[in-house]
Amino acid sequence: MQELTGAETIVILTGAGISAESGLGTFRDKDGLWTRYDLSKVATPEGFAENPWAVHDFYNARRANARAAAPNAAHAALVRLQRGWQGRVLIVTQNVDDLHERAGSTGVIHMHGTLEGALCAECGHRWPAPAAMSPGDDCPMCHRQETRPDIVWFGEMPYRMEEIGAALAGADLFVAIGTSGTVYPAAGFAAEAARAGALCIEINAEASAAAGDFARRVIGPASRAVPDFVAELLDQPKRKDAR
Ligand code: NAD
């Protein structure tokens, strides 16, 4: 890897693959969630309008799984990177679990929302999600019964895109971890960061659909590949100082 001083800005994009070894299913892999559920029924505004009970059941089950899961070595390594790197380390995740936060990461951007949030579709009020949500739940603010999970569904605009765009424009290093590179706009982040001059690296179990946008690819399970990569990064400035 080209020499880094430790002061560079790093943007990390994570996907379902980083949580796979915590026991949370990915979407598109063999046996992934989309092979068992119809995406158009559980992850679209139209599916929710048609059968809000089924959609709440789906996310209630996802929430229970996420709460029972624990962060793995890859989440922990990113905490070490955030604490040990002098420059800014921003984590942008497509994941709706909270394993980055439970590992100890801070300032994580959940561009696709979070299982831990409830959202009133009428007034936009947000509050912590209970273990089980249902279409009859009252909004604590406007008291209407239009409660939905605070999840960005297909066809909806991901959260905090302006902030993410600014971070990509200022990134020196962009690292995508455990994402298939098939869901836009996240799938276009590597190309965007590369255009702005960032070195782009992919860590994934296999080369992703966006693999051509990366200058370097690390193929392997996140729980091993991410700690190794973080150790290499944190070691670089020290090696330079020692010369
Ligand atoms: P995806 O299922 O499309 O792709 C996962 C990628 O991770 C694949 O390329 C796969 O090869 C790789 N992978 C699988 N196991 C791995 C491991 N142990 N180590 C490293 N890589 C591994 O997921 P995506 O790209 O994140 O797709 C985006 C959508 O998936 C988002 O909408 C996101 O909200 C959703 N999602 C989130 C969760 C979660 O919150 N844990 C779970 C499933 C899906």
pLDDT at 38: 86
175-209 pLDDT per residue, tens? 999 999 999 999 999 999 999 999 999 999 998 88
Query: Residue 120 CB: number of other CB atoms within 10 A?
Result: 22
CATH number (domain holding residue 120): 3.30.1600.10
Asked if 76 and 186 sit in the same domain, the reply is: yes
- Find the 144 Cα to ligand 1 centroid distance in Å: 34
Asked if 141 and 174 sit in the same domain, the reply is: no
User: What pTM was computed for the model?
Assistant: 0.94
pLDDT at 211: 81
Q: What's the Rg (C-alpha) of the chain?
A: 19
- Is 86 within 8 Å of 6 (Cβ atoms)? yes
Asked if 138 and 229 sit in the same domain, the reply is: no
128-175 pLDDT per residue, tens? 999 999 989 999 999 999 999 999 999 999 999 999 999 999 999 999
Asked if 133 and 242 sit in the same domain, the reply is: no
Q: Give the number of domains in the chain.
A: 2
- Find the 98 Cα to ligand 1 centroid distance in Å: 14
Asked if 54 and 169 sit in the same domain, the reply is: no
Tokens encoding 93? 């995740």
Asked if 144 and 171 sit in the same domain, the reply is: no
- Find the 88 Cα to ligand 1 centroid distance in Å: 25
- Mean pLDDT, the chain, whole residue set: 93
pLDDT at 212: 87
Asked if 173 and 232 sit in the same domain, the reply is: yes
Domain boundaries, position 147: 32-68+115-151
Exactly one of 100, 112, 125, 143 is catalytic; name it. 112
Provide mean pLDDT across the span 217-243: 89
Strands 199-204 and 113-120: unpaired
Band of residue 4 on the pLDDT scale cut at 50, 70, 90: confident
Asked if 90 and 170 sit in the same domain, the reply is: yes
Residue 110 among the catalytic residues: no
pLDDT at 36: 73
